[in-house]
A = this chain, B = another copy of it.
């Protein structure tokens, strides 16, 4: 059981890593939990100072002992590669009944680390608010970053329903539409709707660059490869941590490309048209649903 029941009763929230996502949570908190104290925990004084300047936190500290004392909710918003170190450093200082979540782009690995490293008197539920951009840093934070964004919350068999409800309500209060999936389901889905897309965008740009005539690339190439300009180190982390599902997704994409190639080579116009039409119809329907969702 968590030691608080509702988001508006939060008295102290600790944000570990105050970048774009952590900072946006900090900016959004005062409106949903009046009087709640927001502490930022980081590795560099300069980052914490910047977070203070942007009013994303009330105070910052390099010390887990100080930062976590009395915290009811802890949100880990650092790059995935730091999770193991952070979970180990947090463990001795987490108050009993405290709820821990994160905003990482994969969910199996954080759940495994929590199971291994966090004390049994706290509850961990992984979250993945699907907001952000290729920009990073607290200076791009916005209180409304999460408004309308999906957020996957990933309970496990050991999750109690009170804590689950608290975490779900937390993200809903910030404007997210919450989807519940197991960590494994989450990782399989994001490999297909996001991670493989990033890898393909990188490969597509390299293929285009290989033509030696990039001046002929237009808006289509620009949009299709936009995400390839994201931070390579961050994406390496994500891909590394979601290796199995990503390998399956690459295989699936390669199979689809192979089908198109076979149809093209055989002069099977019907087969190729069916593939192009299927993709267009599904995408148009998806876009229409997105737009309808925004109007509600």
List chain A positions with a Cβ less than 8 A from chain B: 130-131, 133, 149-150, 152, 177, 179, 181, 188-190, 192-194, 196-230, 232-233, 235-236, 239-240, 243, 246-247, 249-254, 256-258, 260-261, 264-265, 267, 269, 272-273, 275-280, 282-284, 286-287, 289-290
Contacts and interface: CB of A to CB of B under 8 A. Distances in A.
Given A193-B218, A239-B264, 6 more contacts: A193-B214, A197-B220, A203-B279, A228-B279, A229-B287, A232-B277
A283 B19 CA distance: 24
Chain B CB count within 10 A is highest, among A204, A257, A258, A260, for A204
How many monomers of this protein are in the complex?
2
A258 B254 contact: yes
Nearest to A260: B199
B201 A213 contact: no
Given A273-B232, A283-B228, A278 B206 contact: yes
Contacts of A264: 239-240, 243, 246-247, 250
Contacts of A258: 254
A81 to B, nearest CB: 10
Contact of A203 (B203, B218, B223, B257): B257
Contact of A150 (B216, B247, B251): B216
A147 to B, nearest CB: 13
A233 to B, nearest CB: 7
Contacts of A152: 216
Contact of A257 (B189, B200, B218): B200
Contacts of A280: 202, 228-230, 232
A202 B232 contact: no
Contacts of A224: 197, 200-201, 223-227
